[in-house]
Each structure stands twice: as structure tokens, then as C-alpha cells.
Chains A and B, each alone.
Chain A
Amino acid sequence: VQKIDKVSDAQLAATTIATAAATSSAATCYGGLALTEVYRQHGQAVYAVARRVLNNTSEAEDVTQEVFLRLCNNPDRFDPKRGTLRSFLLAQARARSVDAIRSLKARRQRELREAHSGATNAYDLHHEVWDVAQADEVARALEDLPDEERRPIELAFFDGHTYMEVAVLLDQPEGTIKSRIRNGMRRMRAALVEAGIRGADRSPERQ
């Protein structure tokens, strides 16, 4: 059962080798993997969830930071048997965002953050290069999907719903939602391969 997780962890580890050299050793804490890599794969989704809940960019940054620090400080809280790392991180992002809404602490953290802002590093530079080159293509491919395929994918991926929940939300049979997610993902893949997105035709590495 855990073999699949190992496969993806192995892929993760492979890409980690390339990025680890560029980052500080202090960032290596999550199960021996560079947290950089976990951040690279899931940072944006975590940030996006926080942003959705909070509707505020600086508070979303605070929550994103908290989610990754917690993972580092308490890696045991993530139990692979109960779901993937991604769904754990997204659930954390939602929970912490709700906490933040209820707390004035966010305001104080924002003031602290402003003292640190303005800097950049290897990760951000690398990421920015990728962003500029490819993010538009991906966004366009998603926009170009028929609504009936795009909505289920968005609800599943960005809002963290299961396909069953999506079926209820959209008032469609589960089988219909399953096919629409699959068809939409196939269409996305074809569009990304055509646009020359590196890795779209294979595994997630793109170094």
C-alpha cells in the first residue's frame, strides 16, 4: 500500500538533489528531504488556499509560513496512512487560516514580516523564471477547458473536495464527475504537452 508513496517520495528525492545544493542545510528537515522541495511542490497550493480563506495576501503569507514550519517542527503529525502530504498541508492551510481570521495575531505577524521583506534567494529566482515562462500556458489551458470539466477540477484541486463531494456540489452523478475530471485532465495534459511544458509528458521533475 505504501509503495506508491515511496515511488513519489523517490521522485521527490531525485529532484531534491538538484535543489538541495542551492539551499541552506537548515531547510532540510522533513523526513530527510529538503523542505525546499516540499515547498516547491505544495507551496503555491497552500498559499492559494490561505489566500482564498483570508482574502488577504500578507495574512496568507503568514499562514503559509506557519504551515511549513509546523511540518518541520512536528513531521509526525502527518500520517501517510490518512492521506497524502498535499491533502494534509491543504487541510492545515484551511485550519490555520480560519484560526487567523479569529486572531489579532495576524496583524502583529504582518508588522514583523515587513521588517524582513524585500529579499530574495535562489529558490525564488528559480521559481520566478519558471513562472514567467510557463504559468500563463497552464492558466490558459485550464481556462480553455469546457466549464463542465473545469469546475470539477477546480473544486477538487483548489478547494480540496473529493470527487464525491464535487458530485454533490454540482448536483451531478458521481460517474459523470469522474469522467469529467478524467477528460479534463487528459485535455490539460495534451494542451501542456503541445505548449512544451517540460515534464507534462512525464513525471513532475523539471530541472
Chain B
Amino acid sequence: VGLIGHQSVNELIAAFALDAVPRTEHERIAAHLNECPCCREELDAFRAVAAAMADSLESLPGGLWLRVSRQLTDAEVR
């Protein structure tokens, strides 16, 4: 195992933002991110792109959230 250098983590930031990195690599990447503001900034930017892509998929059906929240009210979850 051992440390991955900045370069090799940086190559994976985009895939990481898409949740496309296997678990075995997660910890090492996360460890580097904790120490590298520039990789973190890049991750934020890629996550914003991922969030925008998720939101651009065909629209969620209107009223679906209402169904979910109603079910929660009925179930008195908390």
C-alpha cells in the first residue's frame, strides 16, 4: 500500500467526484484530500458538475416528494 503521490490522486479526483473509485482506493484518496487544499478545491468543482448532471436527468415526477414526505408523516419516523 503506502502513500499515493499528489499526481496519482489528482488523476482520480474526477472519478472520485462521480463515485467511480473502488472502495479500496477511497481511504488513501480521502487521506490525501485532507491535506491538499488544491485537490479539495478541484473535488468541490467536480462535485458541483456531478450535482448538476444529477439534476439534469429527466425531471423527477411532480408530487413524488410529497408522496415520500406523506409516508414519513404517516409512519411518524421521529
Real binding pair: yes
**Residue positions of A touching B, CB distance < 8 A:** 1-5, 7-8, 23-24, 26-29, 35-36, 39, 41-45, 47-48, 51, 57, 61, 64-65, 68-69, 72-73, 82-84, 86-87, 90, 113, 116-121, 123-124, 127-128, 130-131, 134-139, 142, 153, 156-158, 160-164, 166, 178-179, 181-182, 184-186, 188-189, 192, 197, 199-204
Minimum Cβ distance to chain B for residue A188 (Å): 5
Q: Count contacts on B: residues with CB < 8 A to the other chain.
A: 53
Q: A127-B60, A185-B17 are in contact. List 20 more A-B contacts (CB 8 A).
A: A3-B34, A4-B34, A24-B69, A26-B72, A26-B73, A26-B76, A44-B55, A57-B61, A64-B68, A72-B77, A83-B19, A121-B66, A135-B59, A139-B56, A158-B57, A160-B19, A163-B12, A182-B14, A201-B48, A202-B45
Secondary structure at chain B's binding surface: helix, strand, loop or mixed? Answer: helix
Q: Name B18's contact: one of A1, A28, A156 (CB within 8 Å).
A: A156
* Contact across chains for B46 and A185 when beta carbons are under 8 A apart: yes
**Inside 8 A of B73's CB, which chain A residues have their CB?**
24, 26
**Inside 8 A of B11's CB, which chain A residues have their CB?**
178-179, 182
**Inside 8 A of A185's CB, which chain B residues have their CB?**
14, 17-18, 46, 49
Q: Name A4's contact: one of B33, B50, B72, B78 (CB within 8 Å).
A: B33
